[in-house]
Copies of this chain bind each other. A is one copy, B any other.
Amino acid sequence: MRFYQKSLRLPAFLPGCHVITREILAALPELATIRVGMLNVFLQHTSASLTINENADPDVPRDLEALQRRWSPEDFPYRHTEEGRDDMPAHGNASLMGVSLQIPVGDGRLLLGVWQGIYLCEHRRNGGRRNLVLTLFGEENAG
């Protein structure tokens, strides 16, 4: 049984949903040594979110962003407005989609479905860099 835990500081992203599966895998070469386990990806922010969705057609993240504007519109009678028009909608969408993902690990790889990718959705216009905590744990391969 082993635990690995790392911080991963992402570059600043434009508003919208961005596939970050590759960045996560690059930060976790230890994944290859885990026979069976789990990966937790945790975003330490309240105005962006993590989600798993289709990673093939670039129209999917664009449509997700359009849906997010429907779910938590800027044009809504918010009280919390002093941090900008895009801040409270960002908090709303962060609660809808969540900031913590659990992905099973088997035979040294993430057991994502064929079409699944890990997305960071940036809900602010100028969110800046975002920090992830990656926690990988499980049983190691024999030998």
Identify the A interface with B (CB < 8 A): 1, 3, 5, 36-38, 40, 42-47, 51-54, 57, 59-60, 62-64, 66-67, 70-72, 76-80, 88, 91-92, 94-104, 106, 111-116, 131, 133, 135, 137-139
Name the B residues within 8 Å of A64 (CB-CB).
Answer: 91-92, 95
Known: A102-B42, A104-B135, A113-B45. A36 touches B91 (CB 8 A): no
Q: Which of B38, B62, B95 contacts A97 (CB 8 A)?
A: B95
A97 to B56: give the CA distance in the assembly, Å: 21
A106 to B17: give the CA distance in the assembly, Å: 28
Is the CB–CB distance between B116 and A133 below 8 Å?
no
